[in-house]
Amino acid sequence: MSDHAAGQLRDLVPGWLSQSLDPRVDSRLRELHTLVAEEIRQRRPVCLASGRCCSFADHGHDLMVTGLEAAWCWRTLASAPTTAAVVSGQTAGVCALLRDGLCSAGAARPVACRVYFCDRSAADWMNQLAEDCHQQIRRLHEEVSAEYRYARWIDLLRAFSTGAAITTGS
């Protein structure tokens, strides 16, 4: 990602963080998480707990998230990663929230994380579920007048780690 594009994302962080406080955002994202959990419960995809879902560069995939959802996730994390941890993860092509092969985000993780499984037999329904959820999140952006950006999770984590530090003065 270019410095200019990274700066644009970082500049949007304060607005997204503010808009993520809207009760509609919390309610709608939690509804989506429940929907995804029910779909997964019914379909029972295989999870190998390998950490491949978070090792983007090694496994050739990019996890994509919208700015508003990333703000909700960032705000909901029990412990946000430092900018140094995010930069290190970004350089290595892994999620900065991956710790000891497991996701440390827990309930704060984005929908894209929730629907991604290594189970190749689940690819069709996973992709459709991810797309359906993405469209609902996109409409939520419009509903709360949040600037819409769809970007790599690791790039948004970096924007939030630096943008939140600038906003709070830490």
The pLDDT value given to residue 36 = 92
pLDDT tens digits along 129-168:
999 999 999 999 999 999 999 999 989 999 999 876 544 4
CA distance 45 to 80: 29
**Burial class of 53 by CB neighbour count within 10 A (0 to 12, 13 to 18, 19+):** buried
Q: What is the pLDDT averaged over residues 47-56?
A: 73
Show Cβ contacts of residue 120 under 8 Å, excluding neighbours closer than 6 positions. Answer: none
Q: What is the pLDDT averaged over residues 33-54?
A: 83
Q: What's the token pair of residue 92?
A: 């290595």
Q: What is the pLDDT averaged over residues 30-36?
A: 95
The pLDDT value given to residue 32 = 95
- Residue 52 in this model has a pLDDT that exceeds 80: no
The pLDDT value given to residue 170 = 44
Candidates 9, 5, 7; CA nearest to 148 is 9
pLDDT tens digits along 63-95:
899 999 999 999 999 988 889 999 998 888 888
The pLDDT value given to residue 169 = 44
Average pLDDT of the chain?
Answer: 86
Q: What is the pLDDT averaged over residues 28-50?
A: 87
pLDDT tens digits along 100-130:
878 889 899 999 888 887 777 777 888 899 9
CA distance 3 to 113: 26
Place of tokens 């960032």: 74
CA 118, 96, 148, 61 dihedral sign is negative
Domain that holds residue 88: 3-168
Tell which wins on pLDDT, 118 or 62: 62
Q: What is the pLDDT averaged over residues 26-50?
A: 88
* Number of structural domains in the chain: 1
The pLDDT value given to residue 164 = 63
Identify the bridge partners of residue 152 per DSSP, sorted by sequence position: 64
